[in-house]
Amino acid sequence: MIRSCLKASRTFISHCPVALSHDAVSQPVLVRRGLSMGLWPFSASPRDFSLPNASWNAEMRQVYDHYTALCEVKTEDSEETGPWHKLPSYNRSLKHAAGGVYLSKLIQSKARLFTRNKKEYGAAFEYVIFMNKQEKRCVCAFQAGHLLEGPPGHVHGGAIATMIDTVTGTLAGYLVGPVMTANLNINYRSPIPLGGVVLIHSALDRLEGKKIFVNCRVTSTDESKLHTEATALFISVNMGHLFGM
């Protein structure tokens, strides 16, 4: 049963024009094909977990507004797209692969993306990623909730690593398609207060065949304080490898 569901999902994903690439995360496939989204078993409106909610503090909202403004360049005559764009964020990997199309009626699974598995707003990972394709870099605003405590009043190192893996992996996946983390090196420079907001900056260092080298810095929102530095290596993989086949 599981095997046939995975097969069905592979078939679906392989028919997505740009599965796991940047177009796929910005627009549902069926919308792009001009089809009605009422088609069973798909659904049009998965929850985007990276939109502002009541748990976001003023600093988080400020960063969101700042980068959102950079996504839209309005002139008198037209509304152009700026160099940045906000990525949607879903609670299941397959929704990302399918550009937001909800596949759960096709694939029954309790699996949830680690960073998006809490329904309670603000309890764990609150974050939004803005991508700059021209400059091959992205910025994430991350507000750490009370469930992520490590040292008293501060964020757990594993939670920070999770966010670094997520942000650098999102950048690598956006630039080249499906990837897996091969190596992550992290230097923790100063603790991150629980409930605080930080920026996670990530940029492409270089591409070498299947290898994607990415760097990362976690800073205060005014960038005056360095919390964490990291480098990551991702390897391009095919869909079969992603599904463990």
Ligand X SMILES: CCCCCCCCCC(=O)SCCNC(=O)CCNC(=O)[C@H](O)C(C)(C)COP(=O)(O)OP(=O)(O)OC[C@H]1O[C@@H](n2cnc3c(N)ncnc32)[C@H](O)[C@@H]1OP(=O)(O)O
Six token digits for residue 216: 């990362």
Torsion angles phi and psi, residue 95, rounded to 5: -65, -35
Binder among 86, 96, 154, 227 for ligand X (CB under 6 A): 96
H or E element, residue 217: strand 211-220
Q: Residue of minimal CB distance from ligand X?
A: 169
- Separation in Å, CA 55 to CA 61, 64, 150, 154, 195: 10, 13, 20, 18, 10
Q: Which is nearer to ligand X, 8 or 182 (CB)?
A: 182
Verify binding: residue 205, ligand X, rule CB under 6 A: no
Residue 112 as a binder of ligand X (CB under 6 A): the answer is no
Q: Are 34 and 88 in contact (CB under 8 A)?
A: no
Q: What single-letter DSSP state applies at residue 223?
A: S
181 binds ligand X (CB under 6 A): yes
Establish whether 65 is a catalytic residue: no
**Candidate segments 26-34, 80-88, 165-173, 188-196, binder of ligand X by CB under 6 A:** 165-173
Q: Given the rule CB under 6 A, which of 4-12, 50-58, 150-158, 181-189 is the region that contacts ligand X?
A: 181-189
- Count H helices, E strands: the chain? 7, 9
**Using rule CB under 6 A, residue 93 touches ligand X:** yes
Residue numbers at the binding site for ligand X (CB under 6 A): 93, 96, 165-166, 169-170, 180-183, 209-211, 233, 235, 237
**Residues assigned a catalytic role:** 165
